[in-house]
Structure 1
Amino acid sequence: MMGFGWFGWFGMLFMVIFWVAVIVGIAWLVKWLSEQGSGGNRSSRRRALEILDEKYARGEIDDKEYERRRRKLLKE
């Protein structure tokens, strides 16, 4: 009977888990890098400015507060 050497079934299972973890890690890294390059922060900032504009248009905030928040969002 041919075995798996001194590792046995545990060694084979460990290697499968190891390679699955490596592949999942690489996939996560690629996804994270693509999100960083696509300007995900830029789109969230644009949405924040839209919400700020809506609040100003509805009269929920005054001119001074609008300008203060807008400057802060554009500075980030």
Structure 2
Amino acid sequence: MYWYDHGMNGWGSALMGLNMLLFWGVLVAGGILLYRWLRRDEPSGESTPRLATFTARRLLAERYARGEIDDEEYQRRLSTLGRQS
């Protein structure tokens, strides 16, 4: 009874090593994807934002906040945008 060998052969060891690499690869890739998903709305440092995602009013408000335009120009452009909508 139980006289045969229960040890793994070479293929069993290779598959176990491959499964371990696959497990850690999926775990690391999932962590990276989660990190990128959580940081997708944050500005990326000094890179310029894509203007296609900004609305005209948001761009105008940002220019006003940075001091690039004064109160009169802001109100004039805002009313112009209001008439076009």
- With structure 2 as the length reference, what TM-score do the two structures score? 0.44
Q: Which has the higher helix share?
A: 1
Tell me: higher relative CO, structure 1 or 2? Use CA pairs within 8 A at least 6 residues apart.
1
- With structure 1 as the length reference, what TM-score do the two structures score? 0.49
Could you say which structure has the larger radius of gyration? 2
